[in-house]
Structure 1
């Protein structure tokens, strides 16, 4: 086992633990912050695998844009910070979700574990300049459409917050 294997295992363990905490915590803001750590750990996995451009895009797009947008929307809509009794599920729903998650995990392990014993697949070197060229030449319009969609979501969250804030102030 090499040091890269250990670094990948550590980044994967951090990512997995943060993802579990993001899903299981009852605090909405804490869940968003655990999501930041999970996505950052995934970027660390990409770095260990040698995909620096993908790691940078992971940090810029997901951590730097999507999660900040989620936290900003939470702040604008005045979502409850603490645990909310209205947004909880029954023990039966949680048990069924855990059972379904365990079943999917078992299915994935049954398929992927036998593949781990096989010989390594021949890997062709990938140049970041080629990926960047494809991203900003071939895929530039879908990339820009995604940024426009995120901007519209931000404007929509701001509009909803102003509408609900104006009603709340007028009623009191």
Structure 2
């Protein structure tokens, strides 16, 4: 009897999910829904606010994977800074608040086909790469500050800095576009 109970707790598979795995799936579905609304809405401000929900959902996923440091970085950098920068850019360029007739180029079928193909390729690559990998939530902490910092500063410094330059260029561009032209200026 004791051996059967011990074997049942040790047997872990697709058909016996834990509470963390169920929560991960539910938060993932909410995040996916928010991301879909982000790219399908025709109101730019609403898209930015749905982006907050999607990025917040990713932060919760990181928490469920015991990567607390990465979760806080997600909240501080992406949910805080990037979305605020996006909203400031929208305000500075005087983008329409409501429905925007020029937000749809008429290429929706082609865009949907490319998006579905890219999503299918991404899912196939990720499933193939991590088919037999299980995350041991009871083992050593993989998302600790030390491990994450070493990995970030060894492998991802250049993309991280390139992204910061890109965001700075976007902000400067929004300021230039929002300047009022004086008489005699082109």
TM range (shorter): 0.7 to 0.9
Q: Deviations over 1:16-57 (max 9, x none)?
A: 000000000000111111111100001111110111111111
- Is 1:158 aligned to 2:175, yes or no? yes
Residues 41-88 of structure 1: CA deviation (Å, up to 9, x unaligned): 011111101111111111111111011000011111111112222231
Name the TM-score, length of structure 1 as normaliser. 0.76
List alignment gaps of at least 5 residues for structure 2.
Answer: 1-16
More helix by share: 1
Match of 1:120 in 2: 134
The two structures have a TM-score, normalised by structure 2, of: 0.71
CA distance, structure 2, for counterparts of residue 64 and residue 109 of structure 1: 28
Displacement of 1:97 after TM fit? Answer: 1.6
Q: How many residues align?
A: 165
Q: How far apart in 2 are the matches of 1:33 and 1:39?
A: 10
- Larger Rg computed on CA atoms: 2
- For the aligned residue pairs, the C-alpha RMSD in angstroms reads 3.4
Partner of 1:8: 24
Change (3 A) 1:2 1:65: same
Gaps of 5+ in 1: none
1:23 aligns with 2:58: no
